[in-house]
């Protein structure tokens, strides 16, 4: 059998299905590969079996071979362990970024090369171009589906060996292509949330690994308002799950998480989704990853996102000697969260990014002062 030119990561969804179809119809010699990334935890909530069947059916319909690889051990060690460690420390990690870096563009790429392929392809919505001798990661044309935020940890080697066939398409076009070709995934709904949690309640899932430890809920002035089951179950800006009813002397308005004191197991809340306690203008990051291999300058202006579903915000960036960045935004930002990803852009070009380490939000600054 002739070795394939490209191995397509088949997830069992419509996006990877159409990516494979388009490459096959272009005359490229391709095979599919289904990655098993999460070991069954006995709850019956994992869709891996269904997704595998759909991936097999799609490859059969297209007429290409399919391979299988079990990366569950690598996922446990490279993604899930970090996920738990971050939550236990009070931070909010982004496992999709870790999964792309550690699994899809590392172990999957290695597996494709072992099968004789020179490239991989996925159904991500993003674009790759070659410019002035370097590979660049660009936003997808469909801004509502763009996934460059989750791909910002890729480097020159990975981009050189990767294809994103859907980067120029919109989602409705992808579904129409799938339907016209009779692919069994044409109407399959997109997966949502964290892959290993699926449709399960997040707190119930996390409590299996981080047992509940009740503590006080306080307002920013220190008044005790109630009890929480564990600060690591909550993230900044969160409204759901606080179970705070009417508080005497306060208006009947919703409460939002504005701070987490992990050391003292205290959850701080305030009323109003845009509480001043949630606002920050500056952040510091851990060492940054640059897609080009280096930053554009030691100081520069660009656009930034501190979460996936967020419009890009203007900012000034200064690269520190330790590799991290100091960022100052043109206007206050809501609920910038340590542990999440800061991703930087010049226009549609993704420069890279880093894990957020700290911000100048009032509650975070106050807790640092208490710890000093």
- For tokens 């939550």, the residue is 87
Q: Judge whether 195 counts as a catalytic residue.
A: yes
Among 99, 302, 315, 350, the active-site one is 99
Residue 167 near residue 128, CB atoms below 8 Å? yes
Q: Distance between CA 76 and CA 193 in Å, rounded?
A: 18
Catalytic residue among 46, 59, 195, 315: 195
β-strand pairing of 119-121 with 162-163: parallel
- What the block records as the tokens of 289 is 């990853």
Give CA–CA dist 50/239, Å, rounded.
33
DSSP 54-86: HHHHHHHHHT--EEEEE-HHHHIIIIIHHHHHH
324-352 burial code (b ≥16 CB/10 A, e <16): bbebebeebbbbbbbbbbbbbbeebbbbb
As annotated, the active-site residues are 99, 195
């Amino acid at each position: 059998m002739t070795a394939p030119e490209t191995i397509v990561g088949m997830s069992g969804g419509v996006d990877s299905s159409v990516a494979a179809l388009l490459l096959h119809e272009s005359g490229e010699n391709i095979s599919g590969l289904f990655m098993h990334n999460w070991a069954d935890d006995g709850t019956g909530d994992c869709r891996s079996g269904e997704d595998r069947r759909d991936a097999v059916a799609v490859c059969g319909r297209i007429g290409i071979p399919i391979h299988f690889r079990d990366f569950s051990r690598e996922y446990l060690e490279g993604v899930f362990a970090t996920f738990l460690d971050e939550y236990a420390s009070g931070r909010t990690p982004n496992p999709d970024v870790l999964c792309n870096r550690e699994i899809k563009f590392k172990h999957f790429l290695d597996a494709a090369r072992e099968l004789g392929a020179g490239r991989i392809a996925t159904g991500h919505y993003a674009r790759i171009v070659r410019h002035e001798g370097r590979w660049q990661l660009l936003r997808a044309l469909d801004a509502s589906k763009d996934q460059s935020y989750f791909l910002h940890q890729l480097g020159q080697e990975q981009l050189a060996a990767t294809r994103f066939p859907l980067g120029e398409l919109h989602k409705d076009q992808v579904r129409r292509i799938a339907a016209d070709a009779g692919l069994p995934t044409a109407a399959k709904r997109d997966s949502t949330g964290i892959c290993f949690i699926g449709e399960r309640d997040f707190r119930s899932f996390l409590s299996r690994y981080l047992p509940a430890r009740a503590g006080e809920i306080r307002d920013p002035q220190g008044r005790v308002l109630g009890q929480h089951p564990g600060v690591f179950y909550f993230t900044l800006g969160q409204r759901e799950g606080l179970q705070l009813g009417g508080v005497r002397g306060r208006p009947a308005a919703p409460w939002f998480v504005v701070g987490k004191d992990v050391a003292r197991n205290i959850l701080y809340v305030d009323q109003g989704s845009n509480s001043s306690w949630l606002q920050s203008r500056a952040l510091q990051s851990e060492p940054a990853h640059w897609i080009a291999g280096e930053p554009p300058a030691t100081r520069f202006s660009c656009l930034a996102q501190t979460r996936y579903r967020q419009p890009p915000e203007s900012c000034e960036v200064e690269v520190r000697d330790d590799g991290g960045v100091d960022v100052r935004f043109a206007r206050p930002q809501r609920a910038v969260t340590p542990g999440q990803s800061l991703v930087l852009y010049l226009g549609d070009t993704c420069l890279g990014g880093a894990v957020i380490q700290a911000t100048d939000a009032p509650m975070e600054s106050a807790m640092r002062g208490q710890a000093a």
